Amino acid sequence: MERKTSPVFLVPSMEDSKHKDSNIYCILSLVVLCLLTALIFGCRQDSSSTASMPLKDIPTIISYPDQPADPSTKLLFTEDMRIHHEGWWPQSVLIDSNDRIMVPTYRENRIYVFDQAGHGLETLEFPKGQGPGEFTAMEPQLSPNGDLYIYDRLQQRLTIMDAKGREAKTTLKFGEMRQVFTLGPQGEYYFWVVHFRPGTKDVQDLVLTCFDSNGNFVREYESQPFAPGRTDRSGKRIYKLYDSYGMFKLDPAGNLYVAISDKYEIRVYSPEGLPLRKIIKKTQPRGPDEKALEIIRPFFSEFPRDRTVLLPPSQMPEIADILILSDSSLLVVTFGPSKDSMTLSADWFSPEGRFLNRVQIPKYYLWFKAFGPGGSHARIAGDYFYAIEPTDEAESDFVVKRYKIQKSN
């Protein structure tokens, strides 16, 4: 079934929407239209299809929990710096070309800028609103040349700005809902695009989609069902705990890593969209115990109990998050037992997909997603691991910590 992605509108220019109407070129236009239609149908694929290579021909690396390839080598995370600002709510961590640490925040429409020692340099503030240069829900990313890409998920609008002058260069307005904006190394970008059931406002699924730097559709990858709760006849809102959600990351070369939480399988694609390999780890499905359920219950603590129903899952998810190290080795964050309350259990894979060892990494805020896909509150840049961590159980105050990553035998 063909997926239709709504057009992208370049604001404010309308030059691309002007068409010439001439009977002289009618036949030629029909021919061109047929060719374009064939091209589009050839390029756009159903979300169950990921690339031209048959799935059975994709190299598959299968690992087993009790057979790590390098059990003597460990990853150590040593804290060497922390940043705190009173009253902020950090959203992510960005590192610019001058190694400055940039911390966008929810609510305030601000980006705090620090040097590598954690000293404050400046604060970028952006007006709230719906006009040009105004934002209601910022999701910033940095390009290699220093431009600031700010996606406003409520307005469905992407603004490309000069980070120094903060002048908008380009504004793209989208025609459909998109989530988890991620900028690629060549200016391409990725979203989970929301698809609705035909003729309804009910969400059918989310499809990971790539667009070029001008906002044009390039290709689709994985899809995932998306049901962020439903309302029963009595008016109660029903949520399924640990519902499956998708995640993806890009390595420094632009290779794409995709996983769905309910299955221990990571698919890797080249920048051109060709499937490179599948990384699979054999696991034993396990149902949630009381300790596992307590991990997620705080997310629903503010929901009115008389109007909310929480349904336990039949089994725990396999994957919570994926992170890529500077050498393109892979960390798969799991729900496995950790050393203590301050760490998480992760599986470490080589760049080729071999299971190296199980490691402990610092625990970070929202390390799994309770309501569907979302951005990660951890980031690896060079030999450092940046983590946004709450300072109290109420998660009302936050700190950004930096850890030095080292290998140890």
Calculate mean pLDDT across residues 232-255.
85
C-alpha 264/C-alpha 279 separation (Å) is: 8
Query: How do the domains of the chain map onto residue ranges?
Result: 9-408
What percent of the chain clears pLDDT 70, i.e. is strictly above it? 81
Domain 9-408 CATH assignment equals 2.120.10.30:
yes
Where is mean pLDDT largest: 179-193, 214-228, 358-372? 179-193
C-alpha 283/C-alpha 174 separation (Å) is: 40
What is the reported pLDDT for 13? 35
Identify the residue with better confidence: 390 or 9.
Answer: 390
Which range among 90-99, 245-254, 368-377 shows the weakest confidence by mean pLDDT? 368-377
What is the reported pLDDT for 394? 66
Q: What letters, b where the CB count within 10 A reaches 16 and e where it falls short, cover 313-333?
A: beebbbbbbbbbbeebbbbbb
* Collapsed DSSP state (helix, strand, coil) of residue 82: strand
Listed residue (77, 61, 51) closest to 323, CA to CA: 77
Query: Binning pLDDT at 50, 70 and 90, where does residue 368 land?
Result: confident
Has this prediction a pTM greater than 0.85?
no
How far apart, in Å, do the first and last CA atoms of the chain sit? Answer: 51
**One-letter-per-residue 3-state SS of the chain:** CCCCCCCCEEECCCHHHCCCCCHHHHHHHHHHHHHHHHHHHHHCCCCCCCCCCCHHHCCEEEECCCCCCCCCCEEEEEEEEEEECCCCCECCCEECCCCCEEEEECCCCEEEEECCCCCEEEEEECCECCCCCCECCEEEEECCCCCEEEEECCCCEEEEECCCCCCEEEEEECCCCEEEEEECCCCCEEEEEEEECCCCCCEEEEEEEEECCCCCEEEEEEEEECCCCEECCCCCEEEECCCCCEEEEECCCCCEEEEECCCCEEEEECCCCCEEEEEEECCCCCCCCHHHHHHHHHHHCCCCHHHEEEECCCCCCCCCEEEECCCCCEEEECCCCCCCCCEEEEEEECCCCCEEEEEEEECCCCCCCCCCCCCCCEEEECCEEEEEEECCCCCCCEEEEEEEEEEEC
What is the reported pLDDT for 302? 65
Query: How many other C-beta atoms can be found within 10 angstroms of the C-beta atom of residue 259?
Result: 23
- For residue 30, pLDDT over 60 is answered with no
Instruction: With beta carbons less than 8 A apart as the criterion, state whether 92 and 104 touch.
Output: yes
- For residue 144, pLDDT over 90 is answered with no
DSSP string, 86-138: TT--B---EE-TT--EEEEBTTT-EEEEE-TT--EEEEEE--BSSSTT-BSSE
What is the reported pLDDT for 235? 83
Calculate mean pLDDT across residues 28-57.
41
List, for residues 285-332, the tens digit of each pLDDT value. 888 777 777 776 666 666 677 778 877 777 888 999 999 999 999 999
Q: Are strands 60-63 and 275-281 parallel, antiparallel or unpaired?
A: parallel
List, for residues 290-302, the tens digit of each pLDDT value. 777 777 666 666 6
Calculate mean pLDDT across residues 81-108.
92
Calculate mean pLDDT across residues 372-398.
88
- Look over the chain and give the mean of its residue pLDDT values, rounded to a whole number: 81
What is the reported pLDDT for 55? 53
- For residue 28, pLDDT over 80 is answered with no
C-alpha 28/C-alpha 385 separation (Å) is: 57
Identify the residue with better confidence: 377 or 58.
Answer: 377
What is the reported pLDDT for 82? 96
Query: Binning pLDDT at 50, 70 and 90, where does residue 16 land?
Result: very low
What is the reported pLDDT for 379? 96
What is the reported pLDDT for 248? 95
Calculate mean pLDDT across residues 145-154.
90
What is the reported pLDDT for 207? 93
Calculate mean pLDDT across residues 84-91.
91
What is the reported pLDDT for 241? 72
Which range among 4-8, 150-154, 222-226 shows the weakest confidence by mean pLDDT? 4-8
